[in-house]
Amino acid sequence: MSRKFACSWKSGTIVSLISVTEGHAMIVTIPRSVVDPRGFNPSPWFPPYELRISCFQEAMQDVYDFFYDVNSMLLQRGLQRLDDMLRPAAMSGIISDMLTARLAAH
């Protein structure tokens, strides 16, 4: 019989969880992702619609924060991470829609 439960504690930017299944304990950690501004092309590229590079960085960070919050909550309840539950095509569509919506908000 498989039984799962989770205990969680937050330490800075990492959520740690203990999951017990059939007597085996497993610690899962989720690091909070942060956008690395060095990953953007520094060439003089001018985004359309008066957007700035910082708008893209903020939109990406919003998506990272969403997945951190959702996955932390799911793991606390003994469930899988969202990206492990969804098919890749569905996950791709969610990320695309979220980035588009967050860019429109910035």
Six-digit token string for 6: 């989770």
Find which of 32-36, 54-58, 93-97 is predicted with most confidence, using mean pLDDT: 93-97
The confidence band for 48, taking pLDDT boundaries of 50, 70 and 90, is confident
Give domain status of residue 53, yes or no. Answer: yes
> Angle at the Cα of 24 (from 21 to 30), degrees rounded to 5?
75
Q: Is residue 76 part of a domain?
A: yes
- Establish if 20 belongs to a structural domain: no
Structural domain range at position 101: 33-105
Which of 19-23, 69-73, 86-90 bottoms out in mean pLDDT, i.e. has the lowest?
Answer: 19-23
How far, CA to CA in Å, does 34 sit from each of 10, 23, 58? 17, 35, 10
Average pLDDT over residues 23-50: 76
Q: How far apart are CA 39 and CA 69, in angstroms?
A: 24
Domain total in the chain: 1
Q: Which residue, 36, 35, 30, is CA-closest to 13?
A: 30
Mean of pLDDT values over 88-93 = 92
DSSP 8-state code for residue 81: P
Token reading at 91: 């996950």
Q: Is residue 48 part of a domain?
A: yes
17 within a domain of the structure (yes/no): no
Asked if residue 12 belongs to a domain, the reply is no
pTM here? 0.70
Within a domain: residue 58?
Answer: yes
Total Cβ atoms within 10 A of residue 83? 14
Q: Which residues pair with 8 in a beta bridge?
A: 17
